[in-house]
Amino acid sequence: MSDILEVLKTRRSVRKYKKDMVPEELLDRILEAGLYAPTGMDCQKTILLKITDQETVRTLGLVNGRIMGREGMDAFYGAPVVISVLSKNTDPIAVYNGSAAIMNMLDEAASLGLGSCWIHRGKEQFETEEGREILRRAGIDPDAYTGIDNVIVGYADGELPKASPRKAGRIVEL
C-alpha cells in the first residue's frame, strides 16, 4: 500500500508525455478514485468523461489551448488520455465536488507511477461548439452539464519535476 503523504509530497504536474496508451485497468483505478471523492451531502452529481480517442483528445486540447490564448497549442501536452470532470448545471457546489474528484484522480495516477496534470478551462471548452459536440457524442446533454476541469494522464516523457520547498508561515494556530 502506498504511503499517502509520500504520494502527496512527490506528485507533480507533468507537461510532456509519451504516446503510449495507459492500460484500461490503470484508468479504471483512476476513475474509481474520482468516484470516491467526497461530495457535499453525498450528492454524487459529478460525472467523469474518459476520452482515449486520440482525435478527440487532440481536438479538445487544441480548443483548450485556443481558449488559453495560444492558437494551435495542444493544452493537453500530448497526453494520450483526458478525463473531463462535469457536473449538473443545477449543482451549486459543482466546482468543489469536481475539484475533489480531480485531486483524487491526480493522486491515484501518481500512486500508479503515471504522470498527470490538472488542466483548467473545462467550463469554457465545453461551451464551444466543438466541446458541445464531444458531449453530444458521449451521450451527455451539453445544456444540462457544465465542465469543471480536466485531468490528463499518461507516461511521463522524462524525469518527474521535484517539489519546490514549502513556504514557511502557512500554518496558523489559534
Quote the domain boundaries for residue 32.
4-154
Grid cell of 152 as nine digits: 490528463
Cβ–Cβ under 8 Å, residues 98 and 38: no
CB atoms within 10 A of CB 101: 27
Q: How far apart are CA 96 and CA 28, in angstroms?
A: 22
Look at residue 160 in the predicted model and tell me its pLDDT: 86
Answer whether residue 103 is part of any domain: yes
Answer whether residue 160 is part of any domain: no
Answer whether residue 170 is part of any domain: no
| Number of structural domains found in the chain | 1
Look at residue 3 in the predicted model and tell me its pLDDT: 84
Give residue-wise pLDDT tens across range 84-112: 999 999 999 999 999 999 999 999 999 99
Nearest partner of 156 among 49, 80, 61, judged by Cα: 80
Answer whether residue 84 is part of any domain: yes
Answer whether residue 172 is part of any domain: no
Look at residue 1 in the predicted model and tell me its pLDDT: 52
Answer whether residue 166 is part of any domain: no
Residue 53 is part of a domain; what is its CATH number?
A: 3.40.109.10
**Residue 71 per-residue DSSP state:** T
Answer whether residue 147 is part of any domain: yes
Low-confidence ranges of the chain (pLDDT < 70): 1-2
Answer whether residue 19 is part of any domain: yes
CB atoms within 10 A of CB 91: 19
**Residue 23 per-residue DSSP state:** P
